[in-house]
Amino acid sequence: MGAASNAHHTTSRRHGHQLILVTGGAGFIGSNFVLDWLATGNTPVVNLDRLTYAGNLHNLAAIKDDSRHVFVRGDIADRALVAALLQRYQPRAIVHFAAESHVDRSIHGPAEFIQTNLVGTFALLEEARAYWSGLPHAPREAFRFLHVSTDEVYGSLAAEDPAFSESTPYAPNSPYAASKAGSDHLVRAYHHTYGLPTVTTNCSNNYGPFQFPEKLIPLIILNAFRDKALPIYGDGRNVRDWLYVGDHCEGIRVALARGLSGETYNIGGRAERTNIDVVTAVCAIMDEHRPQNAPHSRLITYVKDRPGHDRRYAIDPGKIERELGWRPRQRFEDASGEYRTWVATNYGERNPA
Ligand code: NAD
Ligand code: TYD
């Protein structure tokens, strides 16, 4: 990381039109993607991340001495920087994770969401288009702009509604969802108008290592460790469709390798759970880990609902399953074993209650 400029030149000369540029690769999903990418023996990664509150270089500690990873601290909206990186490294693809990602923050302060998710994605698309149009024929044909998005662009489902498919009309309800929907539309337009070879993936709620503890599952784990209230919004019956982050990363790798230009793919875990069921499951794991503080469910506290809180999300991943052969591997219930280890590693020693 922060490799010296000589290393930068070596990486660019040796790997032109092979390496990939990842944005937001110090965040939750981006860091899992970069680690998995290098672990599965892939080509080098240039990782552009602004290191907002949500980005953390500790997530990438396992590859700090890996010369296949070049970390660049910067903003996707900095067009001169993005243009210089594209020229220097000549990537064969851009995998775009960088975003403001938390719904509650978007309710309290939407401006950053418009800036990064919309204006930032626009800047990245403009520079990607300029770079891609100047490529020789073969790398130009092979180039991909993979845009990582969310199921929240589709709005909210009633209990009996079918799951979201790629043809579900967009109906974003939060400023976060609206900013992601806008970025999806820009990506679509850049394909349609300019022919930029884009692929968009819309994924459901992720869980796994390195998630910032403002999101439901890590927040509940951390609060349970500290013997603090476990806040449940509204009646706790809102439903989310949970996917293990490693499965999401595999879906993105598959979409990058085999996804058709201009297509969108929904990625989901076929694991719909109410929030109260998720929190109760986490409490049961905590009870095993710290029996002296059981039952952790005594900390569950119903609080005022999130304004505009979407009732239910559910993804139909049939298209990526049928067309690209991807499937979620990790069952939500089996993940509890992994969570036990993760809880012990992340919170057990460093943050004793
Ligand atoms: P995150 O908030 O954990 O990480 C975002 C990363 O982007 C951080 O490292 C941050 O420093 C970086 N970043 C923010 N603004 C930037 C900017 N202007 N320039 C450069 N870097 C910037 O987010 P996440 O949960 O890892 O989500 C990654 C992507 O996946 C987002 O686009 C999000 O919309 C999407 N997504 C997330 C989920 C989920 O469950 N977390 C589900 C579906 C889709
Ligand atoms: P979150 O992790 O913020 O993801 P998203 O809003 O993108 O789905 O929230 C997941 C669900 O958990 C959502 O229905 C809101 C709810 N929630 C709580 O009940 N309490 C909390 O403290 C948080 C952060 C979320």
pLDDT in tens, 214-236: 999 999 999 999 999 999 999 99
Residue 214 annotated as catalytic: no
Contact 326, 258 (CB under 8 A): no
Write down the catalytic residue from 75, 100, 127, 151.
Answer: 151
Mutation test residue for ligand 1: of 50, 81, 100, 101, the one with most atoms within 8 Å of CB? 101
Cβ(42) – ligand 1 distance below 6 Å? no
Residue list, ligand 2 pocket, CB within 6 Å: 103, 205, 215-216, 219, 231-233, 238, 240, 275, 306
What is the amino acid identity at position 99? A
Distance CA 56, CA 53 (A): 8
Looking at ligand 1, which atom is closest to the CA of residue 32?
26
**Cα separations (Å) of 328 from 50, 151, 251?**
30, 16, 8
Q: Active site residue: 75, 152, 241, 310, which one?
A: 152
Task: Determine which residue's CA is closest to atom 20 belonging to ligand 2.
Answer: 232
Query: Which residue owns the Cα nearest ligand 2 atom 6?
Result: 103
pLDDT of 84 higher than 70: yes
CA 161 to chain centre: 25
| Other C-beta atoms lying within 10 Å of the C-beta of residue 245 | 21
d(CA 185, CA 181): 6
| Ligand showing the shortest atom-to-Cα distance for residue 31 | 1
151 catalytic residue (yes or no): yes
Write down the mean pLDDT value for the chain. 93
248-265, pLDDT tens digit by residue?
999 999 999 999 999 999
Least confident of 15-24, 66-75, 311-320, 338-347: 338-347
Instruction: Answer whether 184's CB lies under 8 Å from 153's CB.
Output: yes
Q: How remote is the CA of residue 333 from the centroid of ligand 2, in Å?
A: 19
Does residue 29 have its Cβ closer than 6 Å to ligand 1? yes
For 86-127, the pLDDT digits (tens) are 999 999 999 999 999 999 999 999 999 999 999 999 999 999
- pLDDT tens-place string over residues 172-202: 999 999 999 999 999 999 999 999 999 999 9
Question: Does 194 participate in catalysis according to the annotation?
Answer: no
Entry pTM: 0.95
The strand ranges marked E within 205-299 are: 205-207, 230-233, 239-244, 263-267, 272-274
Q: For the residues 63-71, what does the mean pLDDT come to?
A: 97
Q: Is the pLDDT of residue 314 over 90?
A: yes
Q: What does DSSP say about strands 272-274 and 69-73: parallel, antiparallel, or unpaired?
A: unpaired
Q: What whole-number distance in Å separates Cα of residue 66 and Cα of residue 45? A: 10
